[in-house]
Chains A and B, each alone.
Chain A
Amino acid sequence: MAVPDATLERDAALFAPIARTGRGFYLTVAVLGLAILWGAIAYWTQFNEGLGVTGLQQPVSWGFYVTNFVFFIGISHAGTLISAILRLSRAEWRRPITRMAEVITVMVLFIGAGQILVDLGRPDRLFNVIRYGRYQSPLLWDATSISAYLTASMFYLYLPLIPDIAILRDRLGKRRFLYSVLAMGWTGSAHQQKILNRAIAIMAVLVIPIAVSVHTVVSFVFSMTIQPAWHSSIFGPYFVAGAIFSGIAALIVAMAIVRRIYHLQAYLKPIHFRYLGHLLLVMTLLWFYLTFAEYLTGYYGNEPEEMKVFWSKFTGPFWPTFWAMLALNFVVPMAFLVNLRNHAVGKTVVASVAVVLGMWLERFNIVVPTLSNPRLPFPVTHYWPTWVEWGETAGSFGLFILLYVLFVKFFPIISIWEIQEGREAGLKDVEERLRTYLPDDTTPEPAHGRARVTT
């Protein structure tokens, strides 16, 4: 066995969710199942009757589904990107949170990509994208980038999971076959450990540009058109920043829930929330800065078409979603995150819930108001989603949470071996590293050269 039992006893809390299943779990699954059922009925209805059962129309031909697509793909930046950055910067406090983040990415990417399938008028012709794929279309860039990200993220989640699966294989006593297969003969030898560390490092480097590319090309779906308030060069970085922003918020919410339900207060300490809270505060400011730059340039340019969209958000029919977005994405996080000295967990969670909601509204405010303001004098009916879109959205959230909950039941949501590594190797490593930062205090070399001349 790779790790002695005594050290494993110390981390017994990390096995608890897998070893024991309480009534709360089944209740959660039942509630999520209902949401998913609602979504399934909604999609079945839409599949049979066509997109006519939604609130979509002419000219608002994109609505909730495209909003959800951008939103969920944005949330996916929680994981892999944040985890990779923390790993590469050797932030020691990352250890209990990296896996939690990576799981969000993998699960939510399925949901995000699924939104496009739901949005298609002809899902039966999906494979035309491969058969007749037209690479000049930003939609193809999306398909490429997202599938690359999904593949890389799955590897990036799986690699650091291998030693933990081996621990489960040796210790848990149930699902032995599953864990034996997935552990791929891991013994924890120095050679294996070396290869694994290198593989993780390579994936961490690889995954960052892919993640950036994903939300850049998602933004290109809008900015490559010539529509007012879409055709903007800031959209790439704006979407990436917004994605990381909503991703961190989703991660904090997930951490708080897992911590509460599985009593992992010893592992997910206020300090982790405080550090992530600071990161969220930085992203709040960055998001506000980009939003400010985007709207101010639009306002000063004063192009008539641009201004129609601008005013429809500021004072027109979209004012509730626009101002709610500003409040949730800027005012609330600013108020709760500036001082995290005490009650860090509660404050960051409030700010994060606000940001998750606010970023959904932000995506909505990008997609719908532009389409609601056609250039030519068309009769415009206000877009309002039907039960089908609400159901699909509820089902999507439900499915995402269910996949997450199931992961927690099958695999350790906090990396056991990395926590142990932190205790054993990490402490020494940090001390040594810190020493290399400081000026050398070894015996000074005998003065020669210039020094001798001056004396």
Chain B
Amino acid sequence: MALWGMVIDLDRCTGCQACVMACKAENNVPAVGAKEAGLGRTISWMQVLVEESEERTRFLPRPCFQCDDPPCTKVCPVYATYRDPEGIVAQVYARCIGCRFCMAGCPYNAKYFNWRRYQQEAPGQNPDVSVRPKGVVEKCTFCHHRLQKARDRVRAERRELAPGDYVTACAEACPTRAITFGDLSDAGSDVAKLAKSPRAFRVGEELGTKPKVIYLSETEAHGRA
């Protein structure tokens, strides 16, 4: 069975936010408006964080890390968030009771809450992704609907799922090809090869969450912060 993962090359990232915008368009992520954004309620499944230290500034695009041992699913009282067999951490919007325990439990703040009803169903939205109601948690799903579509397509074409059939919107949009997406369990895939690169590291690895989003950086991997 596949184990979906992502490699993000920080040495290539320019912080252009193309991934952020592609994600928002693909997944019907609502624009919350200036007032709500000022209160700190922006929803951005893919968020470009800026790490600033004395020597340099670095961009860290952060989707959900799709932990293999996710701290958020452990605390959900209603199975609204769970790790699916292919390693994607899902969120069932129709079941979530909005207790926000998973948000408190996520060490990477990758979960977002609908503090208000931010959008209605409207033309121009992606019909493959449901619009979230108020009061539920939402998160990056590695564009899971694209996997479902890719499956349908390969079934119609009577072939197996090949690399490139299923790619997330952020990976597709990145102009510097900093984001590579694929099956980590397939040793021959680009993503699996890059994950073994000497430049590879995971954020918060010491927490034992086993993130499936792996970063590449010359400096970080050599112990220079």
Contact = CB atoms under 8 A, between A and B. Distances in A.
Nearest to A56: B115
Given A59-B109, A374-B109, A121 B104 contact: no
Nearest to B100: A61
| 4 closest A-B pairs by CB | A121-B98, A121-B135, A52-B115, A52-B116
B134 A50 contact: yes
Given A58-B113, A59-B109, A375-B107, A122 B97 contact: yes
Interface stretch (A124-132, A189-197, A337-345): A124-132
Interface string B94-111: 011111110111011100
B175 interface: no
B77 A137 contact: yes
A129 B95 CA distance: 10
Contacts of B134: 50, 52, 121
A27 interface: no
Interface of A: 49-52, 55-62, 116, 119-122, 125-126, 128-129, 131-134, 136-140, 143, 221, 224-227, 371, 374-381
B223 to A, nearest CB: 15
What bracket does the count of chain B residues touching chain A fall in?
A: 35 or more
B117 A50 contact: yes
A128 B136 CA distance: 13
B78 A132 contact: yes
Contacts of B52: 377
A133 B77 contact: yes
A57 B97 contact: no
Contacts of A378: 49, 109
A57 B49 contact: no
Given A58-B41, A58-B112, A62-B104, 5 more contacts: A52-B36, A122-B135, A134-B76, A226-B71, A378-B49
A37 B129 CA distance: 41
Contact of B105 (A116, A125, A140, A225): A225
Contacts of B100: 61-62, 119, 121
Interface string B191-203: 0000000000001
B207 interface: yes
A61 B103 contact: yes
Contacts of A55: 39
Contacts of B66: none
Most chain B Cβ neighbours within 10 Å, of A49, A60, A376? A376
A202 to B, nearest CB: 32
Interface string B101-144: 10111011100111111000000000000000011110000000
Contacts of B74: 136-137, 224
Contacts of B163: none
Contacts of B116: 49-52
B164 interface: no
A304 to B, nearest CB: 11
A198 B117 CA distance: 55
Given A50-B134, A57-B115, A121-B97, A139 B77 contact: yes
B136 A121 contact: yes
Given A50-B116, A129-B78, A375 B40 contact: no
A50 B135 CA distance: 6
A129 B108 contact: no
A128 B97 contact: yes
Most chain A Cβ neighbours within 10 Å, of B75, B79, B203, B208? B75
Given A50-B135, A58-B41, A121-B113, A376 B62 contact: yes
A375 B108 contact: yes
A319 B52 CA distance: 25
A381 B40 contact: yes
Contacts of A381: 38-40
A139 B203 contact: no
Nearest to B135: A121
A139 B97 CA distance: 12
Contacts of A121: 96-100, 113-114, 134-137
A121 B99 CA distance: 6
B115 A51 contact: yes
A227 to B, nearest CB: 7
Contacts of B96: 121-122, 125
A116 to B, nearest CB: 7
A374 B203 CA distance: 13
B41 A52 contact: yes
A436 B52 CA distance: 74
A122 B100 CA distance: 11
B107 A120 contact: no
A120 B101 CA distance: 10
Most chain B Cβ neighbours within 10 Å, of A137, A139, A374? A137
Nearest to A126: B97
B60 A376 contact: yes
B95 A125 contact: yes
Contacts of B60: 376-377
Nearest to A51: B115
A408 to B, nearest CB: 35
Most chain B Cβ neighbours within 10 Å, of A49, A58, A119? A58
B97 A120 contact: yes
Contacts of B113: 51, 58, 61, 121
B42 A58 contact: yes
Contacts of B51: 377
B98 A58 contact: no
B67 to A, nearest CB: 11
